[in-house]
Amino acid sequence: MLKARELTRRFGPLLAVDRLSFEVEPGTVLGFLGPNGAGKSTTMKMLTGFLAPTSGTAEVLGHDIRRDSVAARRVMGYLPEGAPLYGELSVAQFLAFAAEARGFRGNERDRKVRRAVERLELGAVMGQTIETLSKGFKRRVGLAQAILHDPPVLILDEPTDGLDPNQKHEVRSLIREMSPERIIVISTHILEEVDALCTRAMIIAHGRLLADDTPRGLLERSRYHHAVSLELEELDRAASRLGELPEAREVEIRRGRLTVFPSGQGDLFRAVGKVIDEEGWHVSHVQLESGRLDEVFRNITRKEAA
């Protein structure tokens, strides 16, 4: 288990993280979401022992991050924000150095490095110095360093930031592959990533926890949850006809698309389908919406700002 208890960090007058408490079970991919400056990276730095909390603490697999920081760090892999330090080292040197810092020597060290290099597809850049790598490759070197020792807890600060679409896909697969049995915490600004990858999401703003839910639970808070969207020639006629359904609460036309919102009475999707059949409209697209995370995110974080 990972347990944060009233984790708090001040920078002078700024309260960057404000009494964050949460518990994470193995098998979880927890996503930290929040606007820039919300306190996501600061929380991750405290969890991984790179920044001391002003008050509060956390426990990682039974090790308190303040009293027992060496043991806590041993069970964690951490991808910090930005590029890896030691830019003047080659990728091979840097990873060998990181493996030695984790206590591996000789063949075992080489094996650990080789495996991480394979997983992040770094073979072609092993001889290149880190400072000369592209942004995405720097990110991948950072990830290789984080997973070197196969830690049970991974804290990854924007793991797919700057990666090309193929590598985004690879890194998400890697995280998914590693997730059973492990505790993985990621931060991200890519909302589709939350849906694709996370089993749980925490929305943070101004250092405070505003929502803690499954991606599905967040989607259920969207006004688009179970709405029906249509693209058809008879837009205006359909809007007034469908707006009269007892299953519909309201209709909206936006950019050539009609969306009907559910009243909560009966099955809206079926009712809309029935009307389409009866009227013989020329429908090119019908969709039952699961909800829109960007709208939920905006609502939750804006409400807080107001």
**Residues at the site binding ligand ATP, with contacts judged by CB under 6 A:** 11, 14, 16, 34, 36-42
Least Å from the CB of residue 41 to Mg ion: 3
Least Å from the CB of residue 211 to ligand ATP: 15
Longest CA–CA span in the chain (Å) reads 75
Least Å from the CB of residue 92 to Mg ion: 29
Show the tokens assigned to 173: 């697969």
Least Å from the CB of residue 206 to ligand ATP: 9
Q: How far apart (Å, rounded) are the C-alpha atoms in residues 82 and 142?
A: 9
Closest CB to ligand ATP among residues 80, 291: 80
Closest CB to ligand ATP among residues 40, 73: 40
Closest CB to Mg ion among residues 168, 241: 168
Least Å from the CB of residue 41 to ligand ATP: 3
Closest CB to ligand ATP among residues 39, 77: 39
Least Å from the CB of residue 305 to ligand ATP: 14
Closest CB to ligand ATP among residues 76, 203: 203
| Contact call for residues 41 and 157 (beta carbons, < 8 A) | yes
Closest CB to ligand ATP among residues 41, 222: 41
Q: CB neighbours of 213 closer than 8 A, spacing ≥ 6?
A: 200, 201, 221
The listed partner (Mg ion, ligand ATP, none) that binds 42, CB under 5 to 8 Å by sort, is ligand ATP
| Contact call for residues 8 and 53 (beta carbons, < 8 A) | yes
Which of 4, 95, 103, 98 is closest to 48 using CA atoms? 4
Residues between 43 and 102 that touch Mg ion (CB under 5 A) = 81
Closest CB to Mg ion among residues 40, 241: 40
In this structure, the number of other CB atoms found within 10 A of the CB of residue 185 comes to 27
Q: 265-296 as b/e, with b when 16 or more CB fall inside 10 Å? A: eeebbebbeeebeeeebebeeeeebbbbbebb
Question: What are the residues facing 283 on neighbouring strands?
Answer: 232
Q: How far apart (Å, rounded) are the C-alpha atoms in residues 195 and 190?
A: 9
The listed partner (ligand ATP, Mg ion, none) that binds 36, CB under 5 to 8 Å by sort, is ligand ATP
Contact pattern for Mg ion over residues 22 through 51, marking x by CB under 5 A: ------------------xx----------
The listed partner (ligand ATP, Mg ion, none) that binds 101, CB under 5 to 8 Å by sort, is none
Q: How far apart (Å, rounded) are the C-alpha atoms in residues 130 and 133?
A: 5
- Scanning the structure block, which residue is given the tokens 């006004």? 223
Least Å from the CB of residue 215 to ligand ATP: 19
Which residues form the interface with Mg ion (CB under 5 A)?
40-41, 81
